[in-house]
Amino acid sequence: MSIIQSFPLVIILVLLITAFMMPLIKNTKIIKGISLVSMTSVMILALINLDFVHKNGEYLYRIGHFNAPYGIEFRIGIIEAMMGLLFTFVALMIIWYSIYSIEKEIKQSKIGLYYLLVNILIGSLLGVVYSNDLFNCFVFIEVGTLASCGTIIVKDKKENIKATLKYLIMSCLGSGLVLMGIAYLYSMTGHLNINYIHAELVKCYLIYPNAVLISIVLFIIGLGVKSAMFPLHNWLPDAHSSAPSSSSAILSSLVLKAFVLLLIKILYGVFGMDILNHFSVLNIVLILGSLGMIMGSVFAIFQKNIKRVIAYSTVAQMGYIFLGIGLGTNLGVSIAIFHIIGHAVTKSALFLLAGAMIEQTGHKSLAQLKGIGREMPLTLGLFSIGALSMIGIPVLPGFISKWHLSLASIAAGDTILIVVILLSSLLNAVYYSPIVINGFFGEENLQGKVYKSKSKPLKELMPVIFLVISMIYVGIASRGIINLISLGLM
């Protein structure tokens, strides 16, 4: 029983307790320091834990003195450990970035509370990832929802409030459905622990066919609302575009992903392949996912505001993930998880860079951001790398997941999906390339722009550079990562 096994719990406790500490401190510098230090230490813990899991394989960790099913337990597999590392790393980078720029977006008096909310948010997301107990996941989801809404409304504008209310109502609907699903499962099995529910369910799912089907659908819709599955995404663009850019980065790169992971956990952990096949319910996810891939990009093309463009592209990228889940093959799911990683790194970088542009120029709309490439060459350069990954230039993660998804869909027997994937990547090119082109080239775009006049100092861009580097690394190391993931899925 090594002490390393308790690290996931320690991570969450550290994050929450430091968060509780913050209101007592008046000086915002100290608060920022605490937030950075806690996130860094947590990341190191996650790294050690990943290494441990990689060596010794997955394990169950009971919270408190009582074994499951009586107590609550964590299930730390390779995927969970990886996600822990990913979440903490991205969050650390985003916090590091926000330290320089947050004053410009938030009132001085609210900064402390902002970092508090971020810590709680990350802690709760990790809880959703780690926990092996459905009701515990539900409680974590609620904390996550509240905290993420909080990170939107810290910036005190009318639109934020409106967007947040929309988000809150939608996700309360979602969590209500999830709780209903849990109730169904409990009344059929009498368990809350995922493994035990599964054990019970495989025995009895033929007795209550409708109820099982309904509970699956309840989970898919409920979590689909929270993770912006296509027809239920309408809260996302407002929320993500109006939030402060560091929060939008967290929201679209981490928050959605945690809920998708929970969906994967529920579909494949609670119900399991044979039940899903028996109800052939995955096609819903598949169809909605491919719809999202196309429609998200199509919406993105018609947006005027750069952050809205990125937000809609998030919808499209979530479509990739749902497509992977919906394929229902081991390869498909592992690619979905790989795409979660790649997209988390890329999209956070894109949001931060867009935030930097808006912050330096004061303009949100694409029309006014023309010629930005001369004023902020480094920023737009990094942005272009991210955009290239979205468009799918080889070696970058976007291309890798596209390729594997296509292969997976061939293997799964629906070759037509390749057309969807390629079409959506083409659409990505259609709306990302104008930003870059008009940024760097064009006479009337560049005239009156002074070279590097508005560029941010390098040290403020360091975190984004790290994110971009890690993105390229994810692309280069893709084989290892995917093998690791499919190892974890076994």
Q: How far is the CB of 229 from other proteins (least distance, A)?
A: 17
Q: Is 337 in the site for other proteins (CB under 8 A)?
A: no
Q: How far is the CB of 489 from other proteins (least distance, A)?
A: 17
Backbone phi, psi, residue 193, to 5°:
-80, 130
Complex with other proteins: residue 21 or 487, whichever CB lies closer: 21
Complex with other proteins: residue 296 or 463, whichever CB lies closer: 296
Joined together, the tokens standing for residue 143 give: 């904390």
- Which positions from 176 through 235 interact with other proteins, judged by CB under 8 A? 176, 179-180, 182-184, 186-192, 200, 204, 207-211, 213-215
Of 58, 142, 359, 414, the one binding other proteins by CB under 8 A: 142
Q: Which range of residues in 148-156, 251-259, 330-338, 464-472 is near other proteins by CB under 8 A? A: 148-156
DSSP per-residue string spanning 166-227: HHHHHHHHHHHHHHHHHHHHHHHHS--BHHHHHHHHHHHTTTSHHHHHHHHHHHHHHHHHHT
Give the Cβ contact number of residue 289 at 10 Å: 26
The DSSP output letter for 406 is H
Whether the CB-CB separation of 354 and 456 falls below 8 Å is answered with: no
Q: How far is the CB of 143 from other proteins (least distance, A)?
A: 5
Of 202, 206, 273, 426, the one binding other proteins by CB under 8 A: 426
Complex with other proteins: residue 287 or 411, whichever CB lies closer: 411
- The answer to whether the peptide bond before residue 69 is cis (omega within 30 degrees of 0) is yes
Complex with other proteins: residue 93 or 474, whichever CB lies closer: 474
Complex with other proteins: residue 180 or 469, whichever CB lies closer: 180
Whether the CB-CB separation of 316 and 307 falls below 8 Å is answered with: no
| Cα 489 to Cα 470: distance, rounded to the nearest angstrom | 23
CA dihedral 339, 340, 345, 351 (to 10 degrees): 110
Q: How far is the CB of 79 from other proteins (least distance, A)?
A: 19
Complex with other proteins: residue 423 or 469, whichever CB lies closer: 423
Complex with other proteins: residue 93 or 380, whichever CB lies closer: 380
Q: Which range of residues in 33-41, 256-264, 311-319, 434-442 is near other proteins by CB under 8 A? A: 434-442
Q: How far is the CB of 58 from other proteins (least distance, A)?
A: 16
Of 268, 279, 403, 466, the one binding other proteins by CB under 8 A: 403
Q: Is 69 in the site for other proteins (CB under 8 A)?
A: yes
Q: How far is the CB of 466 from other proteins (least distance, A)?
A: 21
Measure the N-to-C terminal CA separation of the chain; round to a whole number of Å.
Answer: 23
Q: Which range of residues in 76-84, 160-168, 256-264, 281-289 is near other proteins by CB under 8 A? A: 160-168
- Which positions from 13 through 52 interact with other proteins, judged by CB under 8 A? 13, 16-17, 20-21, 23-24
Q: Is 280 left (phi over 0), alpha (psi -120 to 50) or beta?
A: left
Distances in Å between the Cα of 334 and the Cα atoms of 29, 260, 274, 352 are: 41, 13, 18, 27
| Cα 13 to Cα 296: distance, rounded to the nearest angstrom | 37
Angle formed by the axes of helices 134-153 and 111-130, nearest 10°: 160
Q: Is 108 in the site for other proteins (CB under 8 A)?
A: no
Whether the CB-CB separation of 391 and 334 falls below 8 Å is answered with: no
Distances in Å between the Cα of 119 and the Cα atoms of 124, 235, 370 are: 9, 23, 36
Of 169, 202, 301, 367, the one binding other proteins by CB under 8 A: 169
Q: How far is the CB of 186 from other proteins (least distance, A)?
A: 6
CA nearest 129: which of 309, 260, 251, 1?
Answer: 260
- Contacts by 295-301, CB closer than 8 A, 24 or more apart: 295/230, 296/230, 296/233, 296/424, 297/424, 297/427, 297/428, 297/430, 297/431, 298/427, 299/237, 300/427, 300/431, 301/427, 301/430, 301/431
Element (H, E) at 74: strand 72-76
Complex with other proteins: residue 93 or 366, whichever CB lies closer: 366
233 Cβ contact partners less than 8 Å away, ≥ 6 residues apart: 292, 296, 315, 318
Q: How far is the CB of 44 from other proteins (least distance, A)?
A: 18
Q: Is 136 in the site for other proteins (CB under 8 A)?
A: yes
Complex with other proteins: residue 200 or 359, whichever CB lies closer: 200
Of 39, 45, 50, 63, the one binding other proteins by CB under 8 A: 63
Q: Is 127 in the site for other proteins (CB under 8 A)?
A: yes
Of 29, 30, 51, 66, the one binding other proteins by CB under 8 A: 66
Coil, strand or helix: which one is 143? Answer: helix
- Which positions from 244 through 303 interact with other proteins, judged by CB under 8 A? none
Of 48, 52, 61, 330, the one binding other proteins by CB under 8 A: 61
Q: How far is the CB of 70 from other proteins (least distance, A)?
A: 6
Of 29, 57, 206, 441, the one binding other proteins by CB under 8 A: 441
